[in-house]
Amino acid sequence: MRLEPRATPSAAATILWPAAAIGATIVFSSLLVMIAGASPFTVFFLVFKGAAGSQFALVETLTRATPLIFTGLAVAVAFRARLWNIGAEAQLYLGAVMTVVLGTGAVTLPSAGLIPLIMLAAMLTGALALLGPAILKTRFGVDEVVTTLLLNFIILLFVSMLLEGILKDPMGLGWPQSKRVIAEAQLPRLIQGKRLHFGFILAIVSAIIVWVIMKKTVLGYEMRAVGHNAEAARFAGIPVNRVIAKTALLSGGLAALAGFSEVAGLKGNLTLDLSPGYGYTGIVVAMLALLNPLGVIAAAIFVAGIFVGADAMSRSANVPSYIAEVMVATSLLTMVTAIMLMRYRVRWR
Amino acid sequence: MIEAFEILFTASFWVAAIRIASPLIFATMGELICERAGVLNLGIEGIMVAGAFSGWFTVYMGGDLWTGVFVAAMTGAMFGLLHGFLTVPLGLSQHVTGIGVTLLATSLTYFTYRILLPEVTSPPKIEPFEPFAVPLLSDIPVLGPALFNQTPLTYLAYLTVAVVALVLYRTPVGVAVRAVGENPSAVEAQGISVTAIRIGAVMAGSALMAIGGAFLTMSAFNSFFFEMINGRGWIAIALVVFGSWRPGKALIGAILFAAFDAYQVRLQQITGGVIPYQIFLMMPFVLSIVALVVVARRATYPKALMIPYQKGER
């Protein structure tokens, strides 16, 4: 068998293959649901109901989608330039650390000054955390996948150290948690009494800005060129290493905003369970979105819906909520396969 | 200070070091085989989780310990087949696919755990492998107990290194595996299928990774915990680079690394909480990054690593 590139993917192929990927994911998870002894129809109905069946469910899904939009954007931007950032999890936590460092009373400013200041500082921290692996990649040829993965462990331990040390809330009854951010550092709620917060709007705006950067600016063009063929880009006079460094700064900054928005908008303080793997799930979100920044919004809401829906489902049906993780992982593998089949024709001979 | 130095001469320290090294040896050899054939396997972390669970569960259900090891290996090979199929004939990104395999293997394992053991609150235990003192050899001072008073799985780890080295450098299959990682079109010209060799290598390597995971549940400990692999797979990937893709050097790397890990635990006890414990726990990961940077300049990657092969191209 061999693969032939298609000149231009047909419109049908761009719709049918991703749809087939989702279909295959549903078939596979249905099998697992049946093994667990439940009816797939009931289970998927419950997942859907739990994710979008009521105003409460929808609000919960959008709340869960917020950090995923940020981490999804972080991954989409990096992968576009073939910078394999698997460290969004760590960058998220660093953004959260910066939020509690500046937001718990160390700086007193009105909201209009304090929130942008915290956002900038958080982005800078996350950006620098990815700049390290990017420089190791361009200068020393060290694979950034391994360094960003290893950094996830290092930075999580670092956060744990801070939470048991200088950032520990003295009123926290001994729990490793930070103090709560002051009122001026909090993002407002979008709906009175609901968990959905202004971070969601920031995420949407970020997606639009990233889309503009990718499509309309020289940097975006250079990033795509580097991702498409670094050698050719270098030959064409694009400063490849500098483009990779800029990509790293942008990607790390976006991931850090996920941490900022979770602390300032939702949780109010920093704990070690702030993120149940949003950084890793961001990879799936970005791939489902075909690395398109605007697609990231839809993909993040879809993935968040699966998680929120599966949580609700597992409470009523006897199927472990880990089915959500399985579905998300499966959809990643089926989607990368679908993207390939969109672009190549398989010839058997 | 003297105390910190004396640790190095205690038998118990080296026993612990070899015990810590054992799962890393399996995992590192597994990754080495995959990469030698030109396929980066980032599924390693998840495959180790799946191996840890499937081996342990087989024994928990009344299976023999060696049956458990075999089931773990087969589980690993199945995930290897998945990774191989997606990255070799389909030529998908080895980075993204590997992360996907890790996420899938991990989540499937946790899902299966919850289905098979729905009621448990504390993880059930099995009777793990017992240490077996090799007569005479284990009487050598310090090194004897460290190397030769371990569980049979550790001896299997030594054997694995020898077999991997022998097969890679002394058999036609090994030559083919190394060749598809360096110059696949030359192999195809010999009438050997690059696809078959690569998928085979990834399956064999993944089986070893899974045994590495099973070592934790069936030899080092006696039950399965979530998060128990805890980055060991990623460390194995760093060790392969550190060992310049050579089994012997990778073995030395794994033992050095494990000795360092065992040392930091003891140092932690001596310093008695002056330094936050997280600093010690970070050290293995920091060390891995440092090792990567140090060797990176003179690293000789398999030339076709991460490059999908298409019949008839070039």
Asked if A105 contacts A82 with a C-beta cutoff of 8 angstroms, the reply is no
Which chain B residues in 12-51 lie under 8 Å from chain A, judged by CB atoms?
42
Report ipTM for this prediction: 0.93
The CA distance from A108 to the nearest CA of chain B, in Å, is 31
Residue corresponding to tokens 């399956």:
B203
Is the pLDDT confidence value at B35 over 80? Answer: yes
CATH value at residue B72:
1.10.3470
Does any domain span residue A67? yes
Q: What is the pLDDT of residues B82-132, one digit of tens each?
A: 999 999 999 999 999 999 999 999 999 999 999 999 877 788 999 999 998
Does B136 map to a domain? no
Residue A280 lies in a domain: yes
- How many domains is chain B partitioned into structurally? 1
- Residue A98 within a domain: yes
- The verdict on a CB contact (< 8 Å) between B279 and A322 is no
In angstroms, the separation between the Cα of residue A256 and the nearest Cα of chain B is 21
- Test A328 with B281 for CB contact under 8 angstroms: no
Residue B314 has pLDDT above 50, yes or no: no
- In terms of DSSP H, where are the helices of chain B? 2-6, 11-36, 44-60, 65-87, 94-116, 143-148, 152-170, 172-182, 184-189, 194-215, 232-242, 247-271, 277-296
Place of tokens 């879809």: A302
d(CA B33, CA B200): 10
Taking 70 as the threshold, does the pLDDT of residue A103 lie above it? yes
Compute the distance between CA of residue B25 and CA of residue A65 in angstroms, rounded to an integer. 40
Phi, psi of B276 (to 5 degrees): -55, 140
- Give yes or no for B298 touching A (CB within 8 A): no
Res. A184: pLDDT tops 60:
yes
Q: Is pLDDT at B17 greater than 90 in this prediction?
A: yes
* Residue A285 lies inside a defined structural domain of this protein: yes
Does residue B73 belong to the interface with chain A, where contact is any CB pair within 8 Å? no
- A110 touching chain B per CB within 8 A: no
Residue A333 is predicted with a pLDDT of 97
Residue B312, pLDDT score: 63
Find out whether A332 and A38 touch, Cβ atoms under 8 Å.
Answer: no
The answer to whether position B250 is within a domain reads yes
Give the nearest partner residue to B86 out of A3, A142, A333, using CB atoms: A333
Residue B140 lies in a domain: no
Average pLDDT over residues B179-205: 94
Chain A CA closest to residue B313: A2
> Has residue B135 been placed in a domain?
no
Q: Does the residue B68 lie in any domain?
A: yes
By C-alpha distance, the chain B residue nearest A281 is B103
Mutate which of B115, B194, B300, B314 to disrupt the A interface (most A C-beta within 10 Å)? B115
Range of the domain at A220: 56-296
Q: Does B120 touch chain A (CB under 8 A)?
A: no
What's the CA gap between B202 and B172, in Å, rounded? 17
Is residue A312, in this structure, part of any structural domain at all?
no
User: pLDDT digit string (tens) for A278-337?
Assistant: 999 999 999 999 999 999 999 999 999 999 999 999 888 889 999 999 999 999 999 999
The tally of domains found in chain A comes to 1
Alpha helices in chain A (DSSP H): 11-35, 40-52, 55-80, 88-103, 111-135, 144-164, 199-216, 218-228, 230-235, 240-261, 278-288, 293-316, 323-343
Range of the domain at B40: 2-113+145-296
In-domain check, residue B259: yes
Which among B194, B234, B280, B303 is the top mutation candidate for probing chain A, defined by the most A β-carbons within 10 Å of its own β-carbon?
B234
pLDDT in tens, A259-283: 999 999 999 999 999 999 999 999 9
Sequence length of chain A is 349
A29-73 tens-digit pLDDT: 999 999 999 999 999 999 999 999 999 999 999 999 999 999 999
Q: Is residue A87 included in any domain, yes or no?
A: yes
The answer as to whether A113 is a domain residue is: yes
Residue A203 lies in a domain: yes
Q: Which 8-state DSSP code applies to residue A10?
A: -
| Residues of A in Cβ contact (< 8 Å) with B42 | 145
Rounded to an integer, the average pLDDT of A123-132 is: 97
pLDDT surpasses 50 at B10: yes
Instruction: Residue window 74-93, chain B: list those with CB within 8 Å of chain A.
Output: 82, 86, 89-93
pTM: predicted TM-score of the whole model, two decimal places: 0.94
Q: Helix/strand/coil (H, E, C) string of A105-130? A: CCCCCCHHHHHHHHHHHHHHHHHHHH
* Residue A21: pLDDT over 90: yes
